A and B are shown apart, each in its own frame.
Chain A
Amino acid sequence: MQVVAFWVLAVGAVAGGVAVFVVDSMARATFALLVSFLCVGGTLSLIELQYLGVLVVLMMIMEMLIMAVFMIMYMMNPAGLMPMTMVHNPRGAAAVAGSVFAGLAAGVFLTPWPDRRGTPPPDPTRALGEAIMGPKMLVMMVIGVAILATMIASVVLATHRGRYDRHGDELRERRPADPGGGGA
């Protein structure tokens, strides 16, 4: 039963990923990506990682909803009312992606993977919590700094007077002439 569920979820995840680049609408592409993430969340739940599975599901639902808003803000065809193709060199990209998949798949089956050592703890979530609050705390500290840096950087980039409109040290001066264009 678990094997069937795994393959259904695995095929669903990959099919959702493929659909992202096939469907005509940006909004549909966003929800196809969400389907892929939901399937991956289900896959994690199959191997006793219920906490991480639920984390993926909840985070990605919120992330894709935000992404859908940005899609509708920026995209020419958010609702799929007309055919949409926005690709460059799709054959080259498909060839590279196909080669990478073939290489990875060959590696998966040719590599002598080590045998399993031990069995999962009764509560993997507790083990994860103890790890990130103990021996892996440096990882979480770095993640915390990265999140803070991202918050600051994204606000600075997205503000009206950002990288492309800076006025130098003197904010009252006129906008500087920019021979290169773009204001950088």
Chain B
Amino acid sequence: MSLEAFLLSASALFAVGLYGALSQQSIVMLMMGLELMVNGIVVAGAAFWFHVSPTEPDGQVVVLVAITVMALEMAMGFAVVTALFRARDVDVTDDAGDLRG
């Protein structure tokens, strides 16, 4: 289990999530893509802690922040989907294009 193996796994998770975030029409599926991307960051943060500086807890703190970000992203995402769906019966990204600033 080298650092490279962990980072390769994290890169694959990030890339798969990026594909989902870019390609999915459903907002909830898009959120799943974002969660996978953060999942990759969790793996990378933990790997850096273990393989680079295990005496400093920085990597663990990054993992903790990433896990929190996942939960917050999901809560806000579902709130936005609920607001959009209630207002316009919309649950796909293509129909929510006018949210652009």
Contact = CB atoms under 8 A, between A and B. Distances in A.
A, B in one complex = yes
Interface of A: 2-3, 6-7, 10, 13-14, 17-18, 20-21, 26, 29-30, 33, 36-37, 40, 43-44, 46-49, 52, 55-56, 59-60, 63, 66-67, 70-71, 74-75, 86-90, 92-94, 96-98, 100-101, 104-105, 108-109, 113-114, 116-121, 124, 127-128, 130-132, 136, 139, 143, 146-147, 150-151, 153-155, 157-158, 160, 162-165, 182-183
Contacts of A143: 64-65, 68
Contacts of A114: 52
| Secondary structure class of chain A's binding surface, majority of residues | helix
Interface string B25-64: 1101100110110010011001101111111011011011
A8 B71 CA distance: 26
Report the contact-size class of chain B (Cβ under 8 Å from the partner): 35 or more
Contacts of B13: 13-14, 17, 36, 40
A120 B57 CA distance: 9
Interface of B: 1, 3-9, 11-20, 22-26, 28-29, 32-33, 35-36, 39, 42-43, 46-47, 49-55, 57-58, 60-61, 63-65, 67-68, 70-72, 74-76, 78-83, 85-88, 91-94, 98
